[in-house]
Structure 1
Amino acid sequence: MKLPEATELVERTLGRYGLEGQGRLELVKYRENYVFKLTCPTAAFAVRVHRLGYRNAAQIRTEMAYLHALAERGLPVPRVVPTREGELLCAASWQGETVYVDVLDWVEGAMPLGDIAQGLDGASALTPEEFESLGVRLGQLHGALMELGRLPGFERPAWDAAGLVGPAPVWGDPRRVPGLSPADEATLSRALAVLVEDLDALPRGSEHFGVIHADLTPENVLISESRMTLIDFDDFGEGWHLFDLATVLFFYVPHPRYEQYRAALFDGYAQARPLPPGFADGWEALLLARALTYLGWAGQRAGDPEADFIANAVAPGVVAMARDYLKHRAVR
């Protein structure tokens, strides 16, 4: 679906929300889905057109149900806007296919907490205090998700050993990222094999494993008037709580303040939710597993600017991380 077609579909669908002809529509993001901003005289909304074949209706309804439940509990997430019929998800027809649309309140005047490139090159000026604040929000989020448990009709991907580094990982095979040498591919193959064992050995009790955000990069944390809003739950599913912390910090591993950021993130998290015994034991394994998912994602999207950035700027560091992991594991 091209942009003009997605725009027409949104304009045709807005009547289901009582928003037809009420404001100005503009594209703000296109990655997995089209995301538009609808600016009305008294409010603004994020309108998302889901990519065909990426998520089915049950998976998107699950995401919307959790967002609605979290917002009702006062968690800092976007509020879902229902249709006139009270539905959290809208189905529309396009060329004989069913396309899904949802609407969220827009977070006005907000900016992303951080920038991936600045984390990688060490230019980020983020403070440990900001990571501590994010840790508090993440601990609160996990606490609420643990209380909610599996909502009725739950259907989402699992970020377990199979989903992260198994034979058919959710985000694709990291060895398909362009530019790898045969030696690099061999290193990643060995890392994938040992990570399956290491992740399978991690605890799976509810204090360690459950519903998580799964993509909480600092670009998915919005700051407005000292408020943090956690956005982009498109990849949320079940996984280790520690995986969310690894996602927050992965792009800051090369940063000179990484250790301070890590300590602050864990300190903030523990303020909101007491850490269970052994909580951080799988840190290096999950950090590497998180890294490999980005290579898998990029390997399926050659030519995409973000995929090319990962292939060129991220992949060499991930290969080095995998090499170090294997070396340290061999002497344990």
Structure 2
Amino acid sequence: MSALHDTLYRHDQLYTLAESAVTCYPENAHGMVTELCHSENATYRVDTPDGNRFAMRVHRTNYHDRTNIESELAWLDALRSAGFEVPQAIAGNDGHYVQSVQNGHDIKRNIVLFKWIDGVMPSIDVDMTAFQQLGAITANLHNHSRRWAKPVWFKRLVWDHETMVGAQGHWGDWRNTAGLNGLHSRLINEALCRLREELLGYGKGEQRYGLIHADLRLTNLLILGGTTRVIDFDDCGYGWYMHDLAAALSFIEHHQCINNWIENWLKGYEVGGHLDDRDIAMIPTFIIQRRIQLLAWAGSHAGTKQAQELGVEWVAQSAALCERYLDDKMLSL
């Protein structure tokens, strides 16, 4: 994964690139650039002299090509047309949403500038019903995904078993995660064998598998005046719809409140969608697959602050979750 993240940590160079990228857009989008976060992509806030604000995404290398990014933006356009509050890209001076910028350090990145979205990020520590809001918006996104006629050129990542937790997965190989010991690896491999069989039986029918957000956590929601806005579609792609529930629990699958969070998510989902008994029975399988996928992410992003803050305990907790999954004790819904 080193090639995929070869320039991930060069903050100063990426900041210089972001500053130069502003000139690709009309003058009313020019302003002061401030770094917001730097993990997958680098994200910056742009404040203009007249009080406008934008969010700039500087894409990492070797992950999405231009068609992939334009496909994400096409779905966002379709969602906005259907009444969803989602990010809106700004066209550059050349009329295109995706800009390509290179600076003197030979870093070439794709850039997208979005209109700023105001709102407050819901917290699991403040309001348990935040998961109801998340479940409801997820059902609406799934309904839209199933009925939307995609452009013929549409192309996004595929999030299946191999690309999530296989040795050549999009986020790397979980075996490269620091802190794994022999027992951990055995439990994870046994869990993978079981969940692979479960997924084969579950299948990829059109009601179960399609275009999903793929990272639909509370941190990717903004709430303002009772309206919920969904952000960060960078990982959207083809996967199981139930993966969006597993993604909602990312990094906190071992938490003691997980059953309450799931129950609230399901309650919200049923407002606009429906899950059958087989979908419900598959929840532990999708949760454990997501956790192993995040192990791979932690290994390939070892230099990021978020990965470092997880600590060795998180790896041990991941193995313990696998053991509970194998013993059918992961959840008690």
Q: TM-score category by the smaller chain?
A: 0.7 to 0.9
Residue 109 of structure 2: aligned partner: 99
Aligned residues: 319
What is the root-mean-square deviation of aligned Cα atoms in Å?
Answer: 2.2
AA matched with 2:166:
G
Q: Residue 33 of structure 1 is aligned with which of 41, 48, 51?
A: 41
8 Å CA contact 1:131, 1:261 repeated in 2: yes
AA matched with 1:173:
D
For the residues of structure 2 that align with 1:245 and 1:44, how far apart are their CA atoms? Answer: 32
For the residues of structure 1 that align with 2:44 and 2:308, how far apart are their CA atoms? Answer: 24
Residue 300 of structure 1: aligned partner: 300
For the residues of structure 2 that align with 1:305 and 1:7, how far apart are their CA atoms? Answer: 18
AA matched with 2:56:
V
Residue 162 of structure 1: aligned partner: 162
Q: Report deviation, 1:284.
A: 0.9
Structure-to-structure mapping, 1:130-209, within 5 angstroms? 130-209=130-209
Q: Report deviation, 1:44.
A: 0.8
Name the SS for the 2:229 alignment partner: strand
Query: After the TM superposition, which of the residue ranges 5-14 and 281-290 deviates more from structure 2?
Result: 5-14
Residue 73 of structure 2: aligned partner: 64
1:89 aligned onto 2:98: yes
Query: After the TM superposition, which of the residue ranges 66-75 and 79-88 deviates more from structure 2?
Result: 79-88
**Structure 1 stretches lacking a partner, 5+ long:** none
Residue 284 of structure 1: aligned partner: 284
For the residues of structure 2 that align with 1:322 and 1:298, how far apart are their CA atoms? Answer: 17
AA matched with 2:278:
G
Name the SS for the 1:278 alignment partner: helix
**Structure 2 stretches lacking a partner, 5+ long:** 1-6
1:14 aligned onto 2:22: yes
CA offset digits 1:38-67 (Å, max 9, x no partner): 112242110111112222212212112212
Residue 111 of structure 1: aligned partner: 120
Measured at CA, do residues 275 and 194 of structure 1 come closer, stay the same or move farther in structure 2, by a change above 3 Å? closer
Measured at CA, do residues 86 and 21 of structure 1 come closer, stay the same or move farther in structure 2, by a change above 3 Å? closer
Query: After the TM superposition, which of the residue ranges 46-55 and 90-99 deviates more from structure 2?
Result: 90-99
For the residues of structure 2 that align with 1:98 and 1:55, how far apart are their CA atoms? Answer: 13
For the residues of structure 2 that align with 1:250 and 1:16, how far apart are their CA atoms? Answer: 35
Q: Report the TM-score, using the length of structure 1 for normalisation.
A: 0.88
Q: Report the TM-score, using the length of structure 2 for normalisation.
A: 0.87
Measured at CA, do residues 5 and 96 of structure 1 come closer, stay the same or move farther in structure 2, by a change above 3 Å? closer
Query: After the TM superposition, which of the residue ranges 251-260 and 317-326 deviates more from structure 2?
Result: 251-260
Measured at CA, do residues 226 and 312 of structure 1 come closer, stay the same or move farther in structure 2, by a change above 3 Å? farther
Q: Report deviation, 1:266.
A: 0.9
Q: Residue 63 of structure 2 is aligned with which of 51, 54, 77?
A: 54
Measured at CA, do residues 73 and 193 of structure 1 come closer, stay the same or move farther in structure 2, by a change above 3 Å? same
Query: After the TM superposition, which of the residue ranges 229-238 and 219-228 deviates more from structure 2?
Result: 219-228
CA offset digits 1:228-287 (Å, max 9, x no partner): 221111111111111101111344544444323212211211111233563223111110
Query: After the TM superposition, which of the residue ranges 298-307 and 133-142 deviates more from structure 2?
Result: 298-307
